[in-house]
Each structure stands twice: as C-alpha cells, then as structure tokens.
Amino acid sequence: MEISIGDHWDSLSPETRQWLAENPGCVVLPRTITETIHRETGITADSDQHAQASLSPEDLDFILARSEGRPAPPEHRFFDAIQPGEG
C-alpha cells in the first residue's frame, strides 16, 4: 500500500511533518520515519527488506509544495464530456 502523505498529513505529528518538509527530496523514507508514520496514521506502507518505504511522485510533489509554503498540488480528476440529460 502506498503511503499517500497528502491524505494523512493532518494525522501526522508536527515533528513528522517538519521532518518531511525538511527532507523534500527523500524518495525512500528511513525505517524510523516509516514506523512513525505507521504509528501515527495506522497505514502500513509497502516497504523493502530494510523496512524503508518509497514515496510516490504525488507524495513527493505534495511534500515539496509544503516545504516551500505553497498549497498542495491539485488532484487530477477526469470528467465525462457529456452532461446529465444529454446524449
């Protein structure tokens, strides 16, 4: 399971959020941070043999935006071209 940092940002402690914001280029989270995120959010991320979790490109974009003080990037949504009542 992917971590999805943006979905769980409010569940993370200020210390964990600060660590992520101070390390926005960290593609693979250290074991201690992976365990902390699991403890704080209840999610279990896919991890390697060293109990380190990889972040998705969406997680990296979200963390980078937060570290720069920008709002989180918008989600990409797809909509049907046909409006209700048409077609």
Instruction: Give the pLDDT confidence of 43-70 residue by residue, as tens digits.
Output: 877 776 777 888 999 999 999 998 888 7
Predicted model pTM: 0.73
Please indicate, yes or no, if residue 57 is contained in any of the structural domains.
yes
Domain range for 24 is 5-67
Interval 3-12 mean pLDDT: 90
**Confidence grade of residue 22 (pLDDT, cut at 50, 70, 90):** very high
**Checking DSSP bridges between strand 28-29 and strand 53-54, what pairing results, if any?**
antiparallel
**Number of domains into which the chain is organized:** 1
In a domain, 81, yes or no: no
Residue 23 lies in a domain: yes
Q: 77 lies in a domain?
A: no
Task: Evaluate whether residue 78 is within a structural domain.
Answer: no
pLDDT of residue 12: 95
pLDDT, residue 2, reads 67
Residue 80 has pLDDT above 80, yes or no: no
Compute the distance between CA of residue 25 and CA of residue 55 in angstroms, rounded to an integer: 10
Is residue 84 assigned to a domain?
no
Nearest to 4 by CA among 65, 68, 76, 56: 56
Highest mean pLDDT out of 14-23, 37-46, 71-80: 14-23
* 31 in any annotated domain: yes
Confidence (pLDDT) at 68: 85
**Cross-strand pairs, 54:** 28
Strand partners, 29: 53
Please indicate, yes or no, if residue 52 is contained in any of the structural domains.
yes
